[in-house]
């Protein structure tokens, strides 16, 4: 049995494909009407933009509803370390970073302005 969310996501994909085809057809029409390449800053027509937004929202709604129930994230059973315990590991301490060079360059610029 096909879920309703899968049908909605498929419909959204079809709407997105039609919006892309509509924008490409509009671009060809502009080129044919002007007799030369259309400028790059030409925006697609408003109906293609609205169709793209509606198609995207349909795809998102379909995928979210087809995914099913969200399950809680559980840590390892039986005394696993928490995320707070990882902050104390020395491998996560970074001492050589760009702040030292940034401070030297800033002091050099301030000295040069004086």
| Mean pLDDT of successive 10-residue stretches along the chain, which has 114 residues | 87 96 89 68 85 96 88 67 64 75 89 86
Residue at 12 is within a domain: yes
pLDDT at res. 37: 59
Residue at 48 is within a domain: yes
Residue at 81 is within a domain: no
Residue at 32 is within a domain: yes
DSSP string covering the chain: ---HHHHHHHHHHHHHHHHHHHHHHHHHHHHHHHSSPPPTTPPPPHHHHHHHHHHHHHHHHHHHHHS-PPPPP---TTTPPPGGGGGG-GGG-----THHHHHHHHHHHHHHH-
pTM above 0.95, yes or no: no
Residue at 22 is within a domain: yes
Q: Are 45 and 81 in contact (CB under 8 A)?
A: no
Q: Are 6 and 64 in contact (CB under 8 A)?
A: no
Residue at 20 is within a domain: yes
Residue at 110 is within a domain: no
The parent domain of residue 29 ranges over 4-66
Residue 99 tokens read as 């702040």
CA end-to-end distance (rounded Å), the chain: 77
Residue at 29 is within a domain: yes
User: Per the structure, how many domains does the chain have?
Assistant: 1
């Amino acid at each position: 049995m096909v879920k309703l969310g899968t049908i909605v996501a498929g419909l959204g994909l079809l709407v997105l494909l039609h919006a892309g085809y509509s924008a490409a057809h509009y671009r060809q029409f502009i080129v044919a009407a002007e007799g030369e390449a259309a400028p790059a800053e030409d925006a697609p027509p408003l109906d293609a933009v609205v169709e793209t937004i509606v198609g995207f929202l349909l795809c998102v709604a379909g995928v979210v509803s087809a995914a099913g129930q969200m399950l809680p994230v559980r840590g390892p059973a039986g005394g696993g370390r928490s995320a707070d315990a990882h902050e104390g590991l020395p491998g996560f301490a970074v001492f050589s970073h760009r702040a030292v060079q940034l401070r030297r360059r800033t002091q050099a610029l301030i000295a040069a302005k004086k």
